[in-house]
Amino acid sequence: MTLARTFIRRFHQKSLTRRVEVISRDIIKPSSPTPNHLKNFKLSLLEQLGPTIFGPMLFFYSANNRIKQTEQLQNLKKSLSETLTHFYPLAGRLNSNISINCNDSGADFLEAQVNSPLSNLLQEPSSEVLEQLIPTSVDSTEARTKLLLAQATFFKCGGMAIGVCVSHKLADATSVGLFMKSWSAISSRGSIKTVGSPVFDTLKIFPPGNFSETSPAPVVEPEIKMNQTLSKRFVFDSWSIEALQAKASSFEVSQPTRVEAVSAFIWKLAMKATRTVSRTSKPLLSRSVLPCLIHKAPRNNSSSFWIPVIQVFSSFNLLFSTMMSINLLQFKTKHWWQYCYLWSVWVEGPLGFGLLMSCRITQAFQLYFIFVKKRLPPVKSYVFLPLVLLPWIFGAAIVQAKRPLDSQCHMGLEWTLPVAGLNALYVLALLAFTRAIRHVEFRFDELRDLWKGILVSATSVALWVTSFVLNEIHTDTSWLQVTSRFVLLVTV
């Protein structure tokens, strides 16, 4: 009986594939011409690095007996034309790796029909059949110039499938989703006010790279072998989706949608699978707690190359100041390398802890503007870092001028509290930036690991500040400050 059902199912699938017939192919142009000042759409660096392939999406609709098929088709074409007016780059042509010619060439629109009910496909879907419902293949050569293709397939029962292929170089899944929402809103309500108009501001966030029009794509695109892919179907019932919605709710997103809940669940499992393959369980925790010189490996030809180098430099300065604290070098002689103010004020302060914290704050500042403000930072990192470090330099200069240190490099209580307050101020600034970018983390468990690392770092800083104050008041507690500095070195 099972073999018979399998045979019948495969027979229906092959029969369905043969019955997907393309009836017509039209070019849909924007309802209003694109203004001249928008004709040349420059690609951002993110889009330049994107692969020249299509991103397909497929939507199914049950039969609507209140409207004829011909009327549905005309409505789809008319609404698509109006939608392209708002998404004008999709109606253009990709003429190089640096720009799109928004010449209103239009998008391909295919009409197809299937001599079979939609229920047959939904009950037993197959990749072979689904591929017939999208206008072209993912790796089609049409992706070198065209940016949008759409296909409306009508089933025998009156149901309909709409498949779209959008260039991955120009749009990601979120962009395609916005396009489909806009098309749906115009088709049903005649306006996209409920959805909102698209904003093409990627160029402001990711300025274009220096690529010539004739140069190939700056990255090697992986070969897409569709015959090696594996497709599986997972059905979520209403109870399961409601449970996922309850689990995914948070203070920021109190009522996640059904799509958001299921997507988050799938993404979480996908990230868990990648960790299993790479055999890493707590990558961010180790990066937060261990010294930066281990995990902050700089990349060549990167604008952020110098920040990790400075972090390594400041870490070694903390190490050298710790060596001075345990009297590996004596302060009794008058040689410059045993000078009290050199190590206890400058090397440990602006060139040590101050420089390390300033680098961390600079990195958090950059992430805050890119991912939260959605734009480039107003100040370059090589300008912002010295500005953040200025209070440390001024403080060290004041201590140098007032010379409050005794022969054992201790200062009075009136100097100890301001120094400890400066350290605490920088830690609070780093915590504030980190809290602002907490949603940027791309793996579900990494945010928890990050806060663990911050908690450990903040605790070690508190221990160091406490021991610093006690050591200045009671000079016989130098061992406590030495211990706290070692803890600070490996956790900050």
Is the domain of 162 the same as that of 45? yes
Task: Answer whether residue 286 is part of any domain.
Answer: no
Task: Answer whether residue 228 is part of any domain.
Answer: no
Strand ranges of the sheet holding 107-114, from the earlier edge strand across to the other edge: 21-28, 107-114, 148-155, 160-167, 54-61
Total residues belonging to the chain: 492
Task: Answer whether residue 227 is part of any domain.
Answer: no
Task: Answer whether residue 111 is part of any domain.
Answer: yes
User: Quick check: helix, strand or coil at residue 206?
Assistant: coil
Is the domain of 328 the same as that of 434? yes
Is the domain of 51 the same as that of 189? yes
CB-based contacts of 8, cutoff 8 Å, min separation 6: none
Is the domain of 67 the same as that of 179? yes
Is the domain of 386 the same as that of 439? yes
Q: Where are the beta strands (DSSP E) in 140-230?
A: 148-155, 160-167
Is the domain of 32 the same as that of 82? yes
Q: Which helix (H) or strand (E) holds 100?
A: strand 99-101
Among residues 390, 383, 319, which one has the least CA distance to residue 350?
390
- pLDDT per residue as tens, the chain (492 positions): 444 444 445 545 555 545 788 999 999 999 999 999 989 998 888 888 888 888 899 999 988 888 888 889 999 999 999 999 999 999 999 887 788 999 999 999 999 998 888 888 887 777 778 888 999 888 888 888 899 999 999 998 889 999 999 998 888 888 888 899 999 999 888 877 777 778 887 887 778 877 655 444 444 344 445 556 676 778 888 888 888 888 887 766 778 888 888 988 888 888 777 666 555 444 444 444 343 333 333 344 444 556 667 766 666 666 666 665 555 444 455 555 456 666 677 777 787 778 877 887 887 787 777 767 767 788 888 888 889 889 888 888 888 888 777 666 666 667 777 877 787 788 788 778 777 766 554 444 554 555 555 555 566 666 666 655 555 555 554 555 555 555 555 554
Task: Answer whether residue 229 is part of any domain.
Answer: no
The angle formed by the CA atoms of residues 236, 157 and 148, to the nearest 5 degrees, is 70
Write the DSSP assignment of 226-273 as a string of letters.
Answer: GGG---------HHHHHHHHHHH--SS-SS--HHHHHHHHHHHHHHHH
Is the domain of 471 the same as that of 368? yes
Is the domain of 137 the same as that of 179? yes
CATH number, domain at 15? 3.30.559.10
Number of domains in the chain: 3
Is the domain of 362 the same as that of 413? yes
Domain that holds residue 240: 234-279
Task: Answer whether residue 221 is part of any domain.
Answer: no
Task: Answer whether residue 188 is part of any domain.
Answer: yes
User: Quick check: helix, strand or coil at residue 57?
Assistant: strand
pLDDT in tens, 267-314: 888 877 766 655 544 444 444 434 333 333 334 444 455 666 776 666
Is the domain of 34 the same as that of 91? yes
> CA-CA distance, 204 to 376, in Å (whole number)?
7
**What is the 3-class SS of 315-379, one letter each residue?**
HHHHHHHHHHHCCCCCCCCCCHHHCHHHHHHHHCHHHHHHHHHHHHHHHHHHHHHHHHCCCCCCC
279, 301, 335 — which closes off a domain?
Answer: 279
Statement: the pTM of the whole predicted model exceeds 0.75: no
Is the domain of 195 the same as that of 343? no
Task: Answer whether residue 225 is part of any domain.
Answer: no
Residue pointed to by tokens 């780093």: 430
Is the domain of 209 the same as that of 97? yes
The angle formed by the CA atoms of residues 181, 183 and 184, to the nearest 5 degrees, is 65
